[in-house]
Amino acid sequence: MKASPMPQHNIDEFMQMLEDSAFAQAHEVLETDWKAYRSRGDRDESNILKGFINAATAFELKRRGRESAARVWQTYVKYRPLIDTIESLHVKKYQECALYIETKYKELFRA
């Protein structure tokens, strides 16, 4: 089996956990990927994952009625534009995940 030059992604599992409203667990699913990209110096890639992680955290905070949810959401908003400019093998998956996150945001924050 050929070794992957990049960390593995758990985006599908992350999105499934969001679907299941397992927001805290979703955060944990991407943590390893985020740290791996960060340690490799892949700043844009790690920041995209950081944004996804913060989106899941914002959803959990919103569910708990915490006012900090809106502030945490802003980290996702900050890094979202990177998806449209990054050269990555994962860009289509990032776009899919972003669309899913933004739909979930509308459900939770604007309900």
In the chain, the number of structural domains is: 1
10 in a structural domain: no
19 in a structural domain: no
Of the pLDDT bands very low, low, confident and very high (cuts 50, 70, 90), residue 5 is very low
74 in a structural domain: yes
3 in a structural domain: no
> For residue 1, what pLDDT is reported?
34
> For residue 7, what pLDDT is reported?
57
> For residue 86, what pLDDT is reported?
94
98 in a structural domain: yes
Instruction: Give the range of the structural domain holding residue 78, as residue numbers without chain letter.
Output: 29-109
Closest CA to 14 of 6, 3, 4, 22: 22
CB 15 within 8 A of CB 97: yes
18 in a structural domain: no
pLDDT digits (tens, 9 = 90+) for 18-72: 999 999 999 999 998 999 999 999 999 999 999 999 999 999 999 999 999 999 9
What's the mean per-residue pLDDT of the chain? 90
6 in a structural domain: no
Looking at the predicted structure, is the pLDDT value of residue 79 above 80? yes
CA dist., res. 79 & res. 44, Å (int): 8
41 in a structural domain: yes
